[in-house]
Amino acid sequence: MNKRQSRHFAIACTGMAALAFLVLTADSHRQFPELTNAENITPEVSRGKDVWHDNNCINCHTLFGEGAYYAPDLTKITQLRGAAYLQAYMKNPADFYDEQTHRRLMPKQDLTDEDITDLIAFLGWVSEVDNQGWPPRPILVTGSSIPGTAMTSLQQSQPSESGEASRLPPGARPVTAESNPIAQGESLFLTAVPACNACHSVAPGVNMAGPTLSGVGSRALGIVQSPDYQGQAQDAESFIRESITHPSAHLAPGGMYSAGGTSFMPNRYAEDLTEEQIDYLVAYLASLR
C-alpha cells in the first residue's frame, strides 16, 4: 500500500468511525426520554437536583457511578430506604450513626423540610432511570458486604464447607419450586425489592438500618405477650407476618427505626409480594431462633 492509498484508507476509516459515532449518538438521544422517564421530571425533581448540586452531595456520593467514592452510591437509594427514613436521616444523620463508632458521619446540611422532600423526589426519579446495570459494582447502602451479617449464629458455628458450596454466600444457592419454604424464604430475604438484608442482619448484635433479626423466631412471641404490644398478632408467625405487611403496627425501640409513630421499614411488601412469597419469608424468619 503506497502513501496515497494509506491516506485514503485512513480518511475512509475516520469517516466510517465518525458516522458510527453520530448514528449511535442520535440513537442514544432517541432513547433518552424512555430510559430516563423524562415525563416524570416534575418541578420537585428539578428543585431536588438543585439541592443536590448546591450542597455538593457529589463530593462524597455517586450517582450512576459518577462522583466521589467516599460514601455510598445513591442511584437506587429510594429502593433501599423509604421516604420516611430518608427524611429523618437527612434532617440529622447523627441520630442514626455515631462518628466514633462508625468512623464516618454524614455532615448535617441544615436542609429545610422542603429541600429534603425535593431531594428525595429527585433521588426517586434517579432510581427509576434505566441505567442498564451501571455502575457494575457500586458502593451500596447495605450491610450485606460486611462479613458475617448474612450468617445466622448456627451457620457461624459450623465448620467451613469445601468445594463449590464454599464459594457461595449463605442463601445464594439456587432454589427451585420444589425447595422447602425456608429455603425459598431465605432466597427472598436476599432478592426481594428492596432486599431485606439491605437493612437487616441475621447475625447476633448486628443492628443496621433495621434491628438484627437474629433469634426473631424466638423473640417474636415475647413481643406479642408484652403489655406494650399494640398489634393484632397472637403468635410468633402472625407477628412476623404483621411486621412484613404492616410494619408500623409495632415499632422497634430506637430513634433510627421510626419517627412520629411510623416505621421506617417500607410498607409495600403486602402489595409487591404474593401471599405465597410472604409465607416463605415468614417460614424463614420463624426459623431464626
pLDDT beyond 80 at 45: yes
pTM for this model (two decimals): 0.65
Residue 271 is placed in which grid cell?
402489595
The pLDDT of 247-251, averaged and rounded, is 92
Is residue 3, in this structure, part of any structural domain at all? no
Q: According to the model, what pLDDT value does residue 165 have? A: 45
Question: Rounded mean pLDDT of the chain?
Answer: 84
Same domain (yes/no): 211, 266: yes
Which percentage of the chain shows pLDDT scores above 90? 41
Q: Which residue has the cell 432511570?
A: 129
* Nearest to 213, CA basis, from 228, 194, 199, 230: 199
Same domain (yes/no): 98, 207: no
Q: What would the DSSP string read from start to end of 116-133?
A: HHHHHHHHHHHHTS--TT
pLDDT beyond 60 at 146: no
The pLDDT of 136-148, averaged and rounded, is 59
pLDDT beyond 70 at 156: no
Instruction: Mean pLDDT check: name the lowest of 35-44, 156-165, 224-233, 266-275.
Output: 156-165
Q: How many independent structural domains does the chain possess?
A: 2
pLDDT beyond 50 at 205: yes
pLDDT beyond 80 at 178: no
For residue 281, what pLDDT band results from cuts at 50, 70 and 90? very high
Same domain (yes/no): 136, 174: no
* Nearest to 245, CA basis, from 259, 263, 258, 227: 263
Query: For the domain that residue 53 is a member of, what is the CATH number?
Result: 1.10.760.10
Q: 266 is in which domain, residue-wise?
A: 153-158+169-286
The pLDDT of 3-25, averaged and rounded, is 92
For residue 168, what pLDDT band results from cuts at 50, 70 and 90? very low
C-alpha dist (Å) from residue 266 to 78, 83, 110, 192, 195: 10, 9, 25, 12, 11
Same domain (yes/no): 130, 220: no
The pLDDT of 157-173, averaged and rounded, is 47
